Homo-oligomer: A and B are copies of this chain.
Amino acid sequence: MEYVHDIISALSKQGYRLTPQRLMVVSAIENSEDHISAEEIYSQVVVRYPNVNISTVYRTLELLKRLGLVTETDLGGGRVRYHPADKGHHHHLVCQECGAMIDLDESLLGPLQDALLREHNFIADLRHLAIHGRCVDCRR
């Protein structure tokens, strides 16, 4: 069985069209070492496909989010960032003062997720959260 990117095969399986623009956006996300922004995706894609428009990047991200294939996270810095939903299950603590980021294991939010499901019948999307606050150094 040939190798296909997870996201692309999921798109294909669900009947979405595999346009070159989408393939390149997906590839930028899957090849990114960490969290990537829409602008960064765009500037990668535009090199190989010069007349792509950034609204296509945003629309693709919207689709991938809606299908649960990528997560969108506000890590500060004025733009949200994306990464594959099934890659590196974890969260981040973000200091609002100095921008420091602390990685957090996903297990810390398990109990909360369970409680919300049990007590409110609500399926919380708690994959790759950014929790904002103050780190030790910026404590007042």
Which A residues contact B (CB, under 8 angstroms)? 93, 95-96, 102, 104, 108-109, 111-112, 115-116, 120-126, 131-136, 139
Contact = CB atoms under 8 A, between A and B. Distances in A.
Contacts of A126: 131, 133
Number of copies: 2
B125 A96 contact: yes
Contact of A122 (B109, B111, B123, B134): B134
A132 B123 CA distance: 8
A133 B112 CA distance: 13
B135 A121 contact: yes
Contacts of A123: 133-134, 139
Given A93-B116, A108-B112, A109-B112, A131 B121 contact: no
B122 A102 contact: yes
